[in-house]
Structure 1
């Protein structure tokens, strides 16, 4: 593979995403008392009760889904399958030169965030989550991390790009 500006851009977005995520998780693990089965753990208010930091080890996927699965199924669904999907996405963005710049950034962000969480599952056996937003019943999140933000942002960008493309397609009468 020839290292073009485009390839370097993809690699840079992925590496920065992973680095920011892993640095944030290290800071949380070192500085915030984790919640365990027997303790509530430390809660740090960033903006009142609206934006809170805490340290939760998530052995499942999104919002803890899959944490009850048997170990073999968890390895298949939370490690092997994501690695395969991320590998296919990565191959696609390196090979398809027609991908627009917004979509390229979005796909690279998704791959970077996905790899960062897979790394956690391999190294720590769980993913460190630490942000929580509660806007008084109007909007409330589960507990998430920077990798989750990266994946979600990438998906939102892809949604907007696809909607914009559909809008620009003229339908013959």
Structure 2
């Protein structure tokens, strides 16, 4: 359980720090985009009021608070489900998922939407979507839970 909490807190803090630096200090909110290493990495401001890729982005307060409640319920379930996990892969994976989800919940409370700003393109493919550190942690954590839960190689 300790690894889950340490990972969740670390992911949450890294997510908050990156958003503070990029969205606030570099003023991406106003600039809308900053070329970092074009075309591979750019900061492109996107406010996600829905779920993945903006699905369900009605912009309503009901949707906002509903998504906050859903994230809290899912985090509580993940913590409860993996509270006694052995090894280190499953607790770290669960912590990544929880830390990322709480990072995005914080955004919904603070901004009314999730602040996405990382945009990566490669090899002639122009990616129209932005994401954030929390999104990466949620994705990697979910994959870890799928691949490592119930395995002896923890």
Give the TM-score normalised by the residue count of structure 2.
0.84
1:28 aligns with 2:22: yes
The question of whether the paired residues in 2 share the 8 Å contact of 1:34 and 1:54 is answered with: no
Structure 1 runs, 4 residues or longer, greater than 4 Å off: none
Structure-2 residue corresponding to 1:126: 113
Q: 1:149 to 1:68 in 2, by over 3 A?
A: same
Higher Rg: 1
Q: 1:33 to 1:138 in 2, by over 3 A?
A: closer
1:55 positional shift: 2.4
1:83 positional shift: 0.8
Structure 1 unaligned segments of length 5 or more: list them. Answer: 1-6, 36-40, 169-173
Q: What's the RMSD between the two structures over aligned residues?
A: 2.5
- Structure ranking higher on relative contact order (CA contacts 8 Å, 6+ apart): 2
Structure 2 unaligned segments of length 5 or more: list them. Answer: none
1:60 aligns with 2:50: yes
Structure-2 residue corresponding to 1:4: none
Give the TM-score normalised by the residue count of structure 1.
0.75
1:135 positional shift: 1.5
The residue matched to 1:34 in structure 2 has which SS? Answer: helix
1:155 aligns with 2:142: yes
1:159 positional shift: 3.4
Write the distance in 2 (CA, Å) between the matches of 1:120 and 1:33.
15
Q: 1:137 to 1:165 in 2, by over 3 A?
A: farther
Q: How many residues align?
A: 152
1:16 to 7, 10, 20: 10
Write the distance in 1 (CA, Å) between the matches of 2:128 and 2:8.
25
Write the distance in 2 (CA, Å) between the matches of 1:141 and 1:54.
9
1:86 positional shift: 0.8
Structure-1 residue corresponding to 2:75: 86
